[in-house]
Chains A and B, each alone.
Chain A
Amino acid sequence: MPPRLQLNALAAFPPLPIVRLRVQFQRRLASSSTPDIYDVVCVGGGPAGLSLLTGLRNSKITSNLKVALVDGQDLQKNRLRKDASLESFSNRCSSLTPASVKNLQEIGAWSHAAQARIQPYQEMQVWDGISGARISFDWDSARPILSPRSPTQPTTIAYMIENINITSTLLSRLEELGGVHIFSSQNVSSIALGTEAPDVDLSSWPVLTLSSGKQLAARLLVGADGANSPVRTFAGIPSRGFDYSRHGLVATLKLAGPGWGGPDHKIAYQRFLPTGPIAMLPLPGNVASLVWSTTPERAAKLKALPESDFVAMVNAGFRLSATDLEFLHTMSSGQEEEVAWREQHTSLDTHTIPQKVTAVQSGTVASFPLKLRHADTYTGERVALVGDAAHTIHPLAGQGLNQGQGDAAALVRTISRAVQTGQDIGSVLALESYNSERYAENNAMLGICDKLHRLYSVESGPVVGLRTWGLKAVDAVGPLKGFFMNRAAGGV
């Protein structure tokens, strides 16, 4: 007998375990040698940090701030090669929303991107692996009833792009703008408050010591340093959340063709399975990017399979029932034959699911643990957090990287306003508007994605009926879809 689930059980999940990261207060004084003084020191040259610096350098109002970038990695080495082949793609890709793209255009970066490696998509097929209820998104069906689509209305839902393409693009733009003091391949070894001398009093200024021994004092220290942010630790800002006990399995896939809509109408697919969503996102040509959230055990199992069995399992993930999939994961070998046999007994409308995967690009199958984390605040005295340093999110809606882009743009606005009114850009008062603008927005997005994850983790009972009804209802009402798509597209 299936477990009975009360309707109100949805609202009555047990209290979330709170993970308090151990935070060391490093409020001791830095050594007495005089540090170089900067207005902004950004730790982390990932998508969020680079976008922030590009925004600051691009604007007339903020371009005379003295800025530095510190990253432990070699930023030049991690760049997309100009002659990179269109036959192979990185397994770390993101779905950039039109809002993020617009911001990249505004800061003059987008034109530096390797456009041939970016794949816009125009349609999204999302369905429930248990009930089969389906919702399809495209701007055409989202238009208000009876009104024709205006020629200027966008048709692109989002753009699939390799993360390395984003960071290389931003680095190219930053080089063009110039004026950033870059400390690449240099780790931050410690952060401490400065000292008080007769001429200047740096006792409220963070002073960074780099692995090279160099010291930098920051009027504003920006933590764009990822999920384990050393800047956040220095500021004593707690970050709370929980682990999903799920892994995100990624891979670059070769398909039988360019997709059912051809090269000019690309489709993204996402199927909700009880273990988590499996998504296939289109890349140029016959290539697609896989993100499969699943249990750590299943992720380990999938990673260990020979290529042909792995390919069969991905195809099964979009086609076979949850029960079939459960069984397939228990088999020690022979998934390819088993999937072929079971598929014959499953009726499928092939055009509503992705084209068949034929191969996987070697070396691209990888997985990482999924976490939800949210810092208590994004700002402190002379500190601001952006991107994963402030929040990490379930990859479900592909919003993580976009949130970081939104953070960067908002922080640039806050800094601009502070500069225009002569405020100290590191003061809590000046930074307040950044925190209030972004915190609630990100928190809402974290909440939506988390609730979706939980909703779809339920295999039977009234909730399945409820979500089926929900998907069908949304699908039937065009304008409502427009609303949801606007949210997914970043509110453009």
Chain B
Amino acid sequence: MFFHIVLERNMQLHPRHFGRDLREKLVSKLMKDVEGTCSGRHGFVVAITGIENVGKGLIRDGTGFVTFPVKYQCVVFRPFKGEILEAVVSMVNKMGFFAEAGPVQIFVSNHLIPDDMEFQSGDMPNYTTSDGSVKIQKDSEVRLKIIGTRVDATEIFCIGTIKDDFLGVISDPGTTS
């Protein structure tokens, strides 16, 4: 799920950036530092959408670096148990397959793949129905449901299922999507 929230961060800026475009430097550094990171609490920071306010800088003893407390708005993505996501299959093996929904990695183990799909090894390992009409392989798009998340301080990993109504391959050439 996406959220638009306000976060705060203390930015350290090298003295060489002090000048007319100090603020721009600060913002671009913030983007570089923060976008794409993940915190267990808020999820993945997708994009910074605005700066709320930049506090007074504090000069560090000895180094000359200045610390600015920066409040910024950003879009975060946080997967939840029970959430339905659309994801791209990144890897298939006999244990199941991995898929990515943006920054989130999801593993679907083989017992959460419908029983009528069987693993086929080979160059392009895949799960295929017995009549061959549905195939899950690398780069397939699937709709899956998250059944568990592991949230660490810096990463979120999910496990999902496609064994439910309306879940499974959505980029099937046979279907219009």
The answer to whether A binds B is: no
- A residues with CB within 8 A of B: none
Interface residues of B (CB under 8 A from A): none
